[in-house]
Structure 1
Amino acid sequence: MSETELEEGLVSAAARFDRALARLGASTRDLGSRLQRHQRMEVDTQRLVHERARLATELDKTAARAKRLDDSAHEVSRRLVEAMETVRSVLAKAE
């Protein structure tokens, strides 16, 4: 192998090495960007999980309050019916 061929081989190898380093650098930057996006998604996901838990608790409290109001409304309705029946009974005796 001649000195010129050896030199051309070294130049070619150096060029391939430089291209490989450039690809490695680009891949590293891309990986770093993807890791940052992933971390942001993780933070957002945790925030959503906490918000969901808060909303679920709030929904449970609201549902319990609605049940109490419904029970109270039913009791008021029952008492009104009793009162009306008592008034009818009194009016019927007064006639």
Structure 2
Amino acid sequence: MSETEHEDPLGAASARFDRAIARLDTSLRELAARQARHQRIEVDTQRLIHERSRLATELDKTAARAKRLDDSAHEVSRRLVEAMETVRSVLQKAEN
């Protein structure tokens, strides 16, 4: 075999190697980008879970406050009815 016959296969092998390295480099960059996106999604998911928990706690507190206000309104209404009945009773006695 002559030296030129050895250079041709060596050159072809070198070119294939360079292309393989370029594909590997591209794959690694794409993998890094996918991992970065995945990490951002994980961070966003954790933030949303925390926000959901905070909102659920806030909703529970608001619901409890609304119940207390409703109970208070009911008590005020009951007392107003009693007061009106008392006033009506006093007015009826005064008429008689």
TM-score (norm 1): 0.91
Q: Tell me the equivalent position of 1:89.
A: 89
Q: Tell me the equivalent position of 1:26.
A: 26
Offset of 1:2 from its aligned partner? 5.8
Where does the alignment leave 5 or more consecutive residues of structure 2 unmatched?
none
Superposition map of 1:68-87 within 5 A: 68-87=68-87
Offset of 1:27 from its aligned partner? 0.5
Instruction: Give the counterpart letter for 1:58 in structure 2.
Output: E
Q: Tell me the equivalent position of 1:63.
A: 63
Residues 37-74 of structure 1, C-alpha deviations (whole Å, 9 max, x = no match): 21121112111111110111011001100010011001
Give the superposed CA RMSD.
Answer: 1.4
Offset of 1:9 from its aligned partner? 2.0
Identity %: 80
Runs of 4+ in 1 over 6 A off after TM superposition: none
Alignment length, in residue pairs?
95
Where does the alignment leave 5 or more consecutive residues of structure 1 unmatched?
none
